[in-house]
Structure formats: C-alpha cells, structure tokens
Amino acid sequence: MIRQISNYGLIALLTVALFISCEKDFDTPPDANIPDGMLLDLSDIRQILADSGTYKFTEDFNIYATVTGDNVSGNFYKNVFIEDSTDALNMRTIANGGLFEGDYIRINLNGAIVSEYAGMLQLDSVDVDEQVVIQANQEYWEPMTVTLDDIDPSLQARLVRIENVEFVDGDLGSTYADAVNEQSENRYVQDCNGNEVILRTSGFASFAGAQVPGGNGTITAIVGQFNDDMQLFIRDLDDVQFTSLRCDGSTGEYVIFKNFEDQSLTSGGWSQQVVVGSDEWFVDDFGGNNFAKATNFNGSGNDPSEVWYISPALDLSALNSPTFSFMTMMNYAGPGLDTYVSTDFGQSNDVTTATWTLLQANYSPGGWEETLSGPIDLSAYSSAATYVAFRYTGSSNDGSTWEIDDIAIYDN
C-alpha cells in the first residue's frame, strides 16, 4: 500500500528537514515552474522508507544530488543513479533520457514514490521535464574506492572503484551480455583472494556484444542489489581498465571465442570445406543454445562424408601459453570427431594439401553428453598464422552426429 507523506510518523523528520533547509545555500533554480520546497538529503529518503514503507510524496520537498549513472549507453533504461554526501539511490524516470552523468540537479519530490524492489531502494515515477532542474553540468562524482569484500547493501547505488580485480576464468571470451537476443546476463568479477561479485549488463547496452577483457585492473561501477545478490553495473567500457597480468600471471586474453549465438557458422572468419559427399556443418539450437552440428544422416540412411570446419588465421606468437578448448556433444554410432592444428594452411587454403597435426582431446562419449574437450596446449604451434580445424567423417554404413560449441583459444 502506498502511504502519503503526510503520515504523522514523519512530522519530526520533516521538521528537521525544514530547519536544515534554512541553512543550505543553493543558487536560485533557473526554472521557476518547479516550486521550491523543504530540503531533504538522500539519507532522509532511505530513513523514511525504513520508517513508513512505500509511500508517495504529496508536498514540495526537494533534494539536490549529482547524476552518477545515465542511460547514454543503454545499460540503465529509464533509470538514473544519483548521489549526495549522505547516500545514493536509483531514480526511475517516466521517460528515458534527459539527464547525464555529471549533472547536478534539484528534484521536486511531489508525486514521486519511494519504494523497495528486490531489496533495492528506488525513487520511482519521476518526470524529468516536470520535476527536475539541472543546476550545473559536468560536476562528476568521485567514486568511492572499495574492495570486493566491502560490497554489501550499505553501498546500494554508490559509484565505486574496485582495484586489482578480473573476470573469472569461466567468463573469459564471453561478451558482457547477449546482444543478439537482447538478453541481460551476469558475469563474475573476482579478486586474488577468491571473493566474487556479479557484474550485470543489459542486452540493450551498446557494449553488450563486446568481449570482456582478460587481465587484471580497476572497475568503476554502480552497486546494485537483487534480493540477496549484490551486483555491479558499469556505465560504459571505459569503466573497465584491465592493464595488468591476472592473479595467476597470465594475460587472460582470448585470441578467438566462437559460441554461435549469432547463428552464423562463418562469422569471425571461420570457413568449411567439403572433401567427400555433400554434407556440411550447420548451426542448430537446443533449449535456446546455438552450436555447430555435423551429421551424415539423410533421413533413411547414411552418406559417405568428410567435411572440415576451419578457423581463421590466429596470431599466437605473442602468447605465453596459448590454450585451446571447446565443448562437444555426440550421439549415434560412427567415426569420432578429429581436431587438428596447422601452421601452413594459409599457403594453399586447401585442407587436402596443408600439413595438419592431430590433437588429443577429451571428446563426448555419446548420449549427447556435454564434454569440455580441453584444455589443449598449443605452445608447440605458436605462429603468426596458426589454424585449428574440426574434421567430421561418416560412411554409407554408419555415422555419428557431432555438435561443437564455445570454441576458445586464449593465453593461459
């Protein structure tokens, strides 16, 4: 139930706010259509919620704050983060846009609703055109330097700087979110002591399709909360500055990562060559996950088949320990999948004349069992133009079906 601000339980707090407002000296707002009123701090907003629960302002109370997070990048749709010397909060606006990072603003609270969503304090239903006056621009807020261990509900909506952190191994090579399907996703940031926190990104963010960096360094982010989970939200890619080696001494940089979520077999420079028959690799999906698939089943039997799926030229020359991994799924009886590496394929671009070395990998045993086929050390094949390839074969008598996904080559 929404409670009106006139509740008697708030009289003492608002009386104090009125007294304090007499001592604060702000420039006269340029827009006289938005009335002045008694002043509150952001900490007062949090206290009112704690005392009275969800409620709606019906009088001209005002707050002054600085915008620390806007929606220029698309990561905060109809959300603006603001901060003052006492606290910070998430302000939800009726329309998108109109406020920018560094804007110093006055907000008339009449009509705004203070509530909590999944543990996060929010100031809702703010009409930027009717309730907000920009006092100054480019008044950028200095982030609070904290550690991952410090991230807790007391830092809700705060702009923070966290040093000596990195993305977890399992997220290296991934993008910040699913830009193709415009789905928000979580990544995980860790420090060298094993502490972790979620970094969440909207699928509508302009950088959703960017690959998370390897290395180690500093993240500037806004702290969020969803129930018991603390989260970080970056404003743009400049908020992630990873220029040092990872905790394990590696760079963590990916040379290539192919997960087929763009539903393309050839994006990123991948190609295929048919040597026997007419079967080809193709992109398929199951449960919303995309992968590359090869089969020689023709609907009633099997066809003789040999088809290669080949990476673009990969520059491994600067990597300390180039490592190759991928996922495999297999079913039905037939020849196994073979994985190869070459350093001269680019001379002819012909799989039948290039020199290929068979790689030893741990493949799916069947029954569609998803198996991590790696890591495979490629140090012996480091060059400025190294290629990896998957070779599928089948006969007229039998043929298994193979699926591959999450193909990655990175510095380990």
> Under DSSP, is residue 299 helix (H, G, I), strand (E, B) or coil?
coil
pLDDT score of 29:
41
Residue 135 to residue 125: CA distance in whole angstroms: 21
pLDDT number for residue 123: 95
Which of helix, strand or coil describes residue 81? strand
Q: What is the pLDDT of residue 31?
A: 47
243-247, Cβ contacts within 8 angstroms, sequence gap of 24 or more: 243/215, 243/217, 244/164, 244/215, 244/216, 244/217, 245/215, 245/216, 246/166, 246/214, 246/215, 246/216, 247/166, 247/190, 247/191, 247/192, 247/216
Identify the CATH assignment for 256-411 out of 3.40.50.880, 2.60.120.200, 3.40.50.12780, 3.40.50.720.
2.60.120.200
Q: Residue 397 corresponds to which tokens in the numbers above?
A: 């008598």
Same fold, 144-250 and 256-411: no
Average pLDDT of each block of 10 consecutive residues along the chain (412 residues)? 46 42 40 68 94 92 96 94 97 92 96 95 94 95 97 98 93 84 92 97 93 94 97 98 91 86 87 93 91 91 92 88 93 89 94 96 92 92 94 90 93 80
Largest Cα span, the chain: 90
Residue type, 144: M
* Domain definitions of the chain by residue range: 3-136, 144-250, 256-411
Specify the pLDDT at position 396: 86
Helical segments of 83-183, H only? 128-131
Quick one: pLDDT at residue 181? 79
Fold of 144-250: OB fold (Dihydrolipoamide Acetyltransferase, E2P) (2.40.50)
Residue 14's pLDDT is 45
CB of 213 closer than 8 Å to CB of 410: no
pLDDT attached to residue 49: 92
Q: 273 in helix, strand or coil?
A: strand
Sign of CA dihedral 167, 168, 174, 180: negative
pLDDT of residue 7: 44
CB 335 within 8 A of CB 351: no
Residues 157, 87: Cα–Cα separation, whole Å: 8
CATH level 2 (architecture), domain 3-136: Beta Barrel (2.40)
